């Protein structure tokens, strides 16, 4: 059996497909939108609009079968006003009556983000958990970047994985409306 191979991709559609499957039961995804039929639209907006063309997308595969994907924003990543509008419209369409939850999540995440320039791991998901995709994706990207990195772990079971790669929990965010907890994590410059 061939090991997990990681490549940087330019086709966001592949990333959207993997992440839609990977986050199907994620506590934050379900809290945002319990209707799974809208998850693809939600991840399409996140990948194409919220992270956008300046993000770096990695895909982990074994024997040509995609297992996981990651989306990284480089230091200083900012959306233009137009990109922000498209991201907002896409999110509202995907979340519908639950759009307020999306707005709360964005506000709380923005308050928790460090001011220091950093790489932001916006999304990391394995469509086939336990196959090494998450570790391969982290190993690949962290070897290529310089400077600190930051993420929000939406699932407590993933914290040990991120800790193995030098991330530490810096806070705990409790989302409103009986929402789940999220753990901001920081990795200092390696």
CATH assignment, 5-187: 3.40.630.30
Please report the DSSP string for 125-155 in residue order: EESSTTSSHHHHHHHHHHHH--S-EEEEESS
CB distance 18 to 69 below 8 Å: yes
Per-residue pLDDT of the chain (190 residues; tens, 9 = 90+): 458 899 998 788 999 999 999 999 999 999 999 999 999 999 999 999 999 888 999 999 999 899 999 999 999 998 889 998 999 999 999 999 999 999 999 999 999 999 999 999 999 999 988 899 999 999 999 999 999 999 999 999 999 999 999 999 999 999 999 999 999 999 998 6
Computed on alpha carbons and rounded to an integer, the radius of gyration of the chain in Å comes to 16
């Amino acid at each position: 059996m061939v090991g997990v191979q990681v490549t940087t991709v330019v086709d966001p559609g592949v990333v959207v497909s993997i992440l839609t499957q990977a986050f199907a039961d994620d506590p934050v995804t379900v809290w945002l939108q319990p209707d799974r039929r809208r998850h693809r639209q939600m991840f399409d907006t996140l990948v194409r609009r919220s992270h956008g063309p300046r993000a770096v997308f990695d895909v982990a595969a074994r024997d040509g079968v995609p297992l996981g994907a990651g989306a990284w924003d480089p230091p200083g990543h900012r959306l233009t006003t137009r990109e922000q509008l498209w991201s907002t419209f896409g999110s509202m369409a995907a979340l519908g009556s639950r759009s307020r939850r999306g707005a709360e999540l964005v506000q709380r995440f923005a308050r928790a983000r460090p001011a220091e320039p950093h790489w932001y791991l916006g999304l990391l998901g394995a469509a086939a958990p336990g196959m090494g995709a998450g570790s391969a994706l982290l190993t690949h990207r962290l070897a290529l970047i310089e400077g600190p990195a930051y993420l929000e772990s939406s699932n407590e079971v993933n914290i040990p994985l991120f800790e193995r790669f030098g991330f530490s929990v810096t806070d705990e965010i409790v989302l409103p409306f009986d929402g789940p907890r999220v753990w901001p994590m920081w990795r200092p410059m390696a």
